[in-house]
A and B are shown apart, each in its own frame.
Chain A
């Protein structure tokens, strides 16, 4: 790649003559330019910068190891990415309505948001659920709610992603039970459970149990699904939240992949063969502000993971090395000031994800710095994806930016720097140990603080916030969750407890307790409990008793 005899001299000449003349008259805007992650950006990239790139080894072909250029040979020419808007709020009935709305507007997959009590294993009438029911997602207390949530949604035709972690096994069981009632066998079900507990400890906070029993639950789901649900993604190893908590792009890749390594190792330690489960691992990244860095990030992550799976874990199947991922545009970049600007931000961020080869995409709505999205706002967000997919033409060739001198240089840089972090984490004993030592949390915290300082110092511009502000007289409607929903939900729960067969519930919970004390796979036991309408809180209550609760303690 690139002439290396004549070019260096030419570059020098350009620098010393043309550039020097221009700078004399118009100095550059800054002394040093760097990406959001702190990688220095040169004025110009030339073939000299990618002279060490080996096309076959480092780039390869889409659909082939190391998958730098994408995991599908035909890219989006075969099928556009799944348009999958994260949604859910108040009751199952209202969320079901929103699901139908989105599907009718052209969304191609479902993504369920659960409220905090549900994510943390509490029923809606638990004291800690006060004020939280239905606020950040839908309240699910039992299979009964789940049935309403998916009313008239054919689970053999729609794939569903569920953002649920500590108690993912319970929601998975409920989904299976709902499908069964629809006559859809579990081996036909397509979807994902996020099921990534490590990032909860570090960035998201909806943990329940301590690390060891949590890993057990995760490997139980891996095992169960590898036998019974071949089309189901057992985990969505997430960097999105790590990024939202303030990390750089490099850290996002590093810490996510380090978590991935921990999960793969745990599964192997639990007796699984890597090629039995690795092809169903999936990932989840954010798409942040630095347009080109983000595209490089996605490509770097794909290549790095492929290499890790092959070289470190000796995966024989290529499909075990394929990193498939979902992307969400970065919530932390949305501003409350001049919310319509967010449409523009989201458009750029969505485009980044598409140019980076994402498998599915959620675009944020303009009002999400303030609240959950209204129908109008989420429609714009969906249209954003549809315009990119159908009007812009970027989907008509695979990995169009490959070969750009800057793109390939930065992709390699991100991969290398992320690998340095991973080595460091390995020396600490892996991601779980690094988390216990507080290393990952501190890195994220430092990056977040540095970012905030640079915004406050006006070094980093946030349009509408520290530059181009207006006197806000913003009057627009945003979504309010009706507080009545909480009362309704609690009433429904109380009715359920009276009408179900409580003896069956008790037996199922006892069986679960015994299983948790031993080492049987808990997923079938949870499935049984769920089918007799044991509540989420009751099931998690048993597990809390046996496993204990995680006590966070870091600053």
Chain B
């Protein structure tokens, strides 16, 4: 890996949820760990998330959602990625996502869900260890 290679991450807020404290903190932590972070802002449709991820050539997508709409939106995003023939982008999620829902999300290809109280280091390390370079 040449020294100029950087992990690029898209931090996205799909759906109507407006709570961005966590997403912004994670974005900063990733930047502090040497990654290039593109934060999409609020109210992203699944199409917008996928378009941004592909155009920006990111290695990882972080989805933040606290409104309970994850069961509808996360699979939709994974579907769209699949339709584009993408299988090498690491997708992770965070916010308010009940444990019971996690197996189903992982089944559609979400790598990991980081719930409330997860230390930032854990998120950084997971991404560093699991992105496909």
Please name 30 pairs of A and B residues whose Cβ atoms are closer than 8 Å in the assembled complex, sorted by A.
A116-B17, A116-B18, A116-B67, A128-B16, A128-B43, A131-B15, A132-B16, A132-B67, A132-B69, A136-B68, A200-B18, A204-B19, A205-B19, A206-B18, A245-B19, A245-B20, A246-B21, A332-B21, A336-B116, A370-B98, A371-B96, A371-B98, A445-B24, A448-B25, A449-B25, A452-B25, A452-B120, A480-B98, A552-B42, A555-B27
A336 vs B72: C-alpha distance in the bound complex, in angstroms?
Answer: 23
A116 vs B73: C-alpha distance in the bound complex, in angstroms?
Answer: 15
Asked if A478 and B98 make an inter-chain contact with CB atoms under 8 angstroms apart, the answer reads yes
Contacts of A466 in B (CB 8 A): 119
Q: Is the interface of A mostly helix, strand, loop or mixed?
A: loop
From residue 518 to 555 of chain A, which have CB atoms closer than 8 A to chain B? 552-553, 555
- The contact string, 1 if C-beta is below 8 Å from chain B, for chain A 461-501, is 01001100000000000101101000000000000000000
Contacts of A205 in B (CB 8 A): 17-20, 42
Q: Is B34 an interface residue (CB 8 A)?
A: no
Contacts of B130 in A (CB 8 A): none
Asked if A135 and B41 make an inter-chain contact with CB atoms under 8 angstroms apart, the answer reads no
Q: Is A456 an interface residue (CB 8 A)?
A: yes
A204 vs B120: C-alpha distance in the bound complex, in angstroms?
Answer: 23
Contacts of A337 in B (CB 8 A): 117
Contacts of B29 in A (CB 8 A): 452
Q: Is A272 an interface residue (CB 8 A)?
A: no
Having A448-B25, A455-B119, one finds 19 other A-B pairs with CB under 8 Å, namely A116-B17, A120-B16, A130-B69, A130-B72, A131-B15, A131-B69, A132-B67, A132-B68, A135-B69, A136-B17, A204-B19, A335-B116, A337-B117, A371-B98, A445-B24, A448-B24, A456-B120, A552-B41, A555-B24
Supposing A336-B116, A371-B98 touch, asked if A244 and B16 sit within 8 A by C-beta, the answer is no
Q: Is B57 an interface residue (CB 8 A)?
A: no
- The contact string, 1 if C-beta is below 8 Å from chain A, for chain B 69-88, is 11111000000000000000
A452 vs B68: C-alpha distance in the bound complex, in angstroms?
Answer: 24
A461 vs B43: C-alpha distance in the bound complex, in angstroms?
Answer: 34
- The contact string, 1 if C-beta is below 8 Å from chain A, for chain B 109-127, is 0000001110111000000
A467 vs B24: C-alpha distance in the bound complex, in angstroms?
Answer: 25
Residue of A nearest to B69 (CB): A131
Number of residues of chain B lying within 8 A (CB) of chain A: 32
- The contact string, 1 if C-beta is below 8 Å from chain B, for chain A 446-463, is 001100110110000010
Residue B21 contacts which of A448, A453, A480 (CB distance < 8 angstroms)? A448
> Using a CB–CB distance below 8 Å, which chain A residues touch chain B?
116-117, 119-120, 122, 127-132, 135-136, 200, 204-206, 244-246, 332, 334-337, 369-371, 445, 448-449, 452-453, 455-456, 462, 465-466, 478, 480-481, 483, 552-553, 555
Contacts of A452 in B (CB 8 A): 25, 29, 120
A168 vs B116: C-alpha distance in the bound complex, in angstroms?
Answer: 31
Residue of B nearest to A480 (CB): B98
Residue A116 contacts which of B16, B28, B45, B96 (CB distance < 8 angstroms)? B16
Pick the most buried of A132, A204, A448: most chain B CB atoms within 10 A of its CB: A132
A332 to chain B, nearest CB (A): 8
A332 vs B117: C-alpha distance in the bound complex, in angstroms?
Answer: 10
Contacts of A116 in B (CB 8 A): 15-18, 67
B32 to chain A, nearest CB (A): 9
Residue of B nearest to A246 (CB): B21
A180 vs B29: C-alpha distance in the bound complex, in angstroms?
Answer: 53
A465 vs B118: C-alpha distance in the bound complex, in angstroms?
Answer: 8
Asked if A553 and B67 make an inter-chain contact with CB atoms under 8 angstroms apart, the answer reads no
3 tightest A-B contacts by CB? A205-B18, A131-B72, A131-B69
- The contact string, 1 if C-beta is below 8 Å from chain A, for chain B 7-47, is 00000000111111100110111000000000101110100
Asked if A336 and B115 make an inter-chain contact with CB atoms under 8 angstroms apart, the answer reads yes
Asked if B21 and A244 make an inter-chain contact with CB atoms under 8 angstroms apart, the answer reads yes
A483 vs B17: C-alpha distance in the bound complex, in angstroms?
Answer: 18
Residue of A nearest to B122 (CB): A456
Contacts of A455 in B (CB 8 A): 119
B10 to chain A, nearest CB (A): 14
Supposing A456-B121, A552-B41 touch, asked if A369 and B116 sit within 8 A by C-beta, the answer is yes
Contacts of A449 in B (CB 8 A): 24-25, 28
A117 to chain B, nearest CB (A): 7
A135 to chain B, nearest CB (A): 4
Asked if B72 and A128 make an inter-chain contact with CB atoms under 8 angstroms apart, the answer reads no
Residue of B nearest to A371 (CB): B98
B33 to chain A, nearest CB (A): 12
A499 vs B28: C-alpha distance in the bound complex, in angstroms?
Answer: 52
A370 vs B95: C-alpha distance in the bound complex, in angstroms?
Answer: 9
Contacts of B67 in A (CB 8 A): 116, 132, 135-136
Supposing A116-B16, A116-B17, A481-B68 touch, asked if A128 and B45 sit within 8 A by C-beta, the answer is yes
Contacts of B115 in A (CB 8 A): 336
A535 to chain B, nearest CB (A): 17
Pick the most buried of B16, B70, B71: most chain A CB atoms within 10 A of its CB: B16
A552 vs B42: C-alpha distance in the bound complex, in angstroms?
Answer: 8
Residue A131 contacts which of B25, B43, B73, B117 (CB distance < 8 angstroms)? B73
A462 vs B116: C-alpha distance in the bound complex, in angstroms?
Answer: 12
Contacts of B18 in A (CB 8 A): 116, 200, 204-206
Contacts of A204 in B (CB 8 A): 18-19
A89 to chain B, nearest CB (A): 9
Residue of A nearest to B41 (CB): A552
Residue of B nearest to A469 (CB): B117
A127 vs B21: C-alpha distance in the bound complex, in angstroms?
Answer: 25
A38 vs B133: C-alpha distance in the bound complex, in angstroms?
Answer: 42
B77 to chain A, nearest CB (A): 12
A121 vs B94: C-alpha distance in the bound complex, in angstroms?
Answer: 26
Supposing A245-B21, A246-B21, A553-B41 touch, asked if A132 and B116 sit within 8 A by C-beta, the answer is no
B112 to chain A, nearest CB (A): 16
A335 to chain B, nearest CB (A): 6
